[in-house]
């Protein structure tokens, strides 16, 4: 089975990449990394499937050369990875871990040696526990702590990375982790949510300014988006979906690109926001050079009589991935167009994550994953439609290179184009990997 589109179907210079994150692949038990709130969350019964954690993960810490060879052999152009705050600064502040800095230095050089562009993300969720003790994202001081961490790591690798983004998926850091409690620190608290959602943007803007100060360019933001569809034709369902779209998708884009938050979101969060939040937009709205969109699925939203936001998700009818996420490529096309028209207005847009989980297994040394090839084809078709409409999409990154630690779902949701056996740690490229490699020949 083949990819429908090949490299030649995309504009010159269009970048194809794959994405990973530190805690999900490196093995946080190695190399002097500090404890993170994910270690604490996973050690608390009921939070993570089988209480799995990232102490070993894919052991990328020791196997990165093999992993980078796989990326280069697939004819990909860019590797989007993250640096772990707790690996660089085990206590979140203070003395850096020399081994950690050396590790990221080696990674960047290893990518460049293979002709791959390093795309760095500074935070993909592994907050040092020492900072969680101080309130983590609820504490306004996190913006300064994050700026200092940005300075430490980027003084070391900032001269060689191709692009950098401060924070992966502000919605997950804010809402998913402080309102729904599904991710570390596992809070379900509206006041904590309002603060985290604002401070995550304050930290984003602070890191952008820090990196500008170091003379870095090609800086962006990575926003996750979920298409919100009303569960029925009623006006109540329409406004429920609009509110979901507001706090999920528009809140963060509005903050960064419009220096304001959507009214309907402030109706609920306003009373819980930190003092003088509306004076922070010059930091938050520091100009960026590109906008990243992580896209996976849509949700059907139905109104209810509970407290704000007074709605809930209902299962949809479309085919689903192993995450129970509906496959809805139209949503990607919608977000590419809307982000360009209403927020980023001409800046390059990258699909910084897209992909699917499936229970892939090795059969006679091969891993047939036609479902993933279908998924990628359908979403690349959405990118093509946006391009045809004049949206400046400049790249597409698959989540993920490797099967890895899928957070609260542990190791059982396999998103990789390369299969990982979590006992032997053996890597086996899946059929989708081979299909991509063929499609991306230069
Ligand atoms: C995104 C995360 C990534 C991975 C995928 C499936 O929200 O950025 O770490 O978990 O979802």
> Residue 244: is its pLDDT beyond 90?
yes
Work out the pLDDT band at 11, boundaries 50, 70, 90: very high
Q: Is 126 in the pocket of ligand 1 (CB under 6 A)?
A: no
> Residue 319: is its pLDDT beyond 90?
yes
Q: How many independent structural domains does the chain possess?
A: 1
Residue 231 is part of a domain; what is its CATH number?
Answer: 3.20.20.80
Average pLDDT of span 306-318: 98
368 lies in a domain? yes
Work out the pLDDT band at 406, boundaries 50, 70, 90: very high
| Ligand 1: centre distance to CA 1 (Å) | 26
Taking residue 226's Cβ as centre, other Cβ atoms within 10 Å add up to 22
Residue-level pLDDT at 402: 99
Residue 413 CA: which ligand 1 atom is closest?
Answer: 6
> Residue 89: is its pLDDT beyond 90?
yes
Q: Which residues are paired to 291 by β-bridges?
A: 221, 349
List the catalytic residue out of 26, 226, 353, 406: 353
List the catalytic residue out of 26, 126, 169, 333: 169
State percent of the chain over pLDDT 90.
100
Average pLDDT of span 283-291: 98
1 lies in a domain? no
Q: Whole-angstrom distance between the N-terminal and C-terminal Cα of the chain?
A: 20
Phi-psi region for residue 149, left (φ > 0), alpha (ψ -120 to 50) or beta?
A: alpha
Q: Name the residue of 200, 299, 375, 399 to mutate for ligand 1: max ligand atoms within 8 A of Cβ.
A: 399
Residue-level pLDDT at 104: 99
User: Nearest C-alpha to atom 4 of ligand 1 is from which residue?
Assistant: 406
> Residue 122: is its pLDDT beyond 90?
yes
**What length is written for the chain?**
442
CB 332 within 8 A of CB 379: yes
Average pLDDT of span 113-141: 98
Active site residue 169: yes
**Whole-angstrom Cα distance, residue 332 to residue 326?**
13
Structure tokens at 215: 């003379």
User: Nearest C-alpha to atom 10 of ligand 1 is from which residue?
Assistant: 406
Q: What share of the chain is helix, strand, coil (3-state, %, to 5)?
A: 45, 20, 35
2 lies in a domain? no
CB 299 within 8 A of CB 313: yes
247 lies in a domain? yes
329 lies in a domain? yes
Work out the pLDDT band at 283, boundaries 50, 70, 90: very high
> Residue 1: is its pLDDT beyond 90?
no
88 lies in a domain? yes
| Ligand 1: centre distance to CA 182 (Å) | 13
18 lies in a domain? yes
User: Nearest C-alpha to atom 5 of ligand 1 is from which residue?
Assistant: 399
Q: Is 224 in the pocket of ligand 1 (CB under 6 A)?
A: yes
Give me the domain span that covers residue 421.
7-439
Residue-level pLDDT at 409: 98
Work out the pLDDT band at 118, boundaries 50, 70, 90: very high
| Ligand 1: centre distance to CA 400 (Å) | 9
Q: Is 168 in the pocket of ligand 1 (CB under 6 A)?
A: yes
149 lies in a domain? yes
Q: Is 103 in the pocket of ligand 1 (CB under 6 A)?
A: no
Tell me what the pLDDT averaged over the chain comes to: 98
Active site residue 324: no
Q: Is 21 in the pocket of ligand 1 (CB under 6 A)?
A: yes
Average pLDDT of span 46-75: 98
């Amino acid at each position: 089975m083949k990819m429908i589109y090949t490299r030649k179907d995309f504009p010159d210079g269009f970048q194809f990449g794959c994405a990973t994150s530190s805690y999900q692949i490196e093995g946080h038990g190695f190399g002097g990394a500090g404890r993170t709130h994910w270690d604490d969350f996973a050690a608390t019964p009921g939070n993570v499937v089988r209480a799995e954690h990232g102490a070993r993960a894919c052991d990328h810490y020791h196997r990165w050369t093999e992993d980078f060879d796989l990326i280069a052999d697939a004819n990909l152009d860019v590797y989007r990875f993250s640096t772990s705050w707790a690996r660089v600064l085990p206590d979140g502040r203070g003395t850096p871990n020399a081994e950690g800095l050396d590790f990221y230095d080696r990674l960047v050089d290893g990518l460049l040696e293979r002709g791959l562009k390093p795309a760095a993300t500074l935070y993909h969720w592994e907050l040092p526990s020492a900072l969680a003790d101080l309130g983590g994202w609820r504490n306004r001081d996190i913006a300064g702590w994050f700026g200092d961490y940005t300075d430490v790591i980027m003084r070391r690798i900032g001269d060689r990375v191709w692009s950098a983004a401060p924070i992966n998926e502000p919605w997950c850091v804010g809402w998913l982790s402080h309102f729904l409690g599904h991710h570390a620190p596992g809070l379900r608290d509206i006041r904590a949510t309002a603060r985290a959602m604002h401070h995550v943007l304050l930290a984003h803007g602070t890191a952008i300014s820090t990196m500008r100060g170091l003379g870095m360019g090609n800086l962006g933001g990575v926003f996750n988006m979920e298409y919100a569809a009303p569960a029925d034709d009623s006006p109540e369902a329409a406004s429920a979906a609009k509110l979901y779209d507001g706090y999920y998708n528009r809140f963060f884009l509005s903050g960064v690109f419009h220096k304001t938050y959507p009214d309907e979101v402030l109706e609920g969060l306003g009373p819980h926001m930190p003092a003088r939040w509306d004076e922070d937009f010059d930091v938050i709205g520091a100009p960026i050079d590109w906008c990243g969109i992580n896209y996976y699925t849509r949700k059907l939203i139905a109104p209810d009589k509970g407290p704000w936001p007074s709605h809930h998700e209902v299962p949809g009818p479309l085919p689903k991935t192993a995450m129970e996420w509906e496959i809805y490529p139209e949503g990607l096309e919608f977000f590419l167009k809307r982000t360009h028209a209403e927020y980023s207005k001409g800046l390059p847009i990258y699909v910084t994550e897209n992909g699917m989980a499936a229970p892939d297994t090795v059969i006679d040394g091969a891993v047939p994953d036609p479902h993933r090839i279908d998924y990628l084809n359908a979403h690349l078709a959405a990118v093509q439609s946006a391009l045809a409409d004049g949206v400046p999409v400049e790249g597409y990154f698959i989540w993920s290179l490797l099967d890895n630690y899928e957070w609260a779902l542990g190791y059982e949701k396999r998103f990789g184009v390369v299969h990982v056996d979590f006992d032997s740690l053996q890597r086996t490229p899946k059929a989708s990997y081979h299909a991509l490699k063929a499609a991306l020949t230069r």
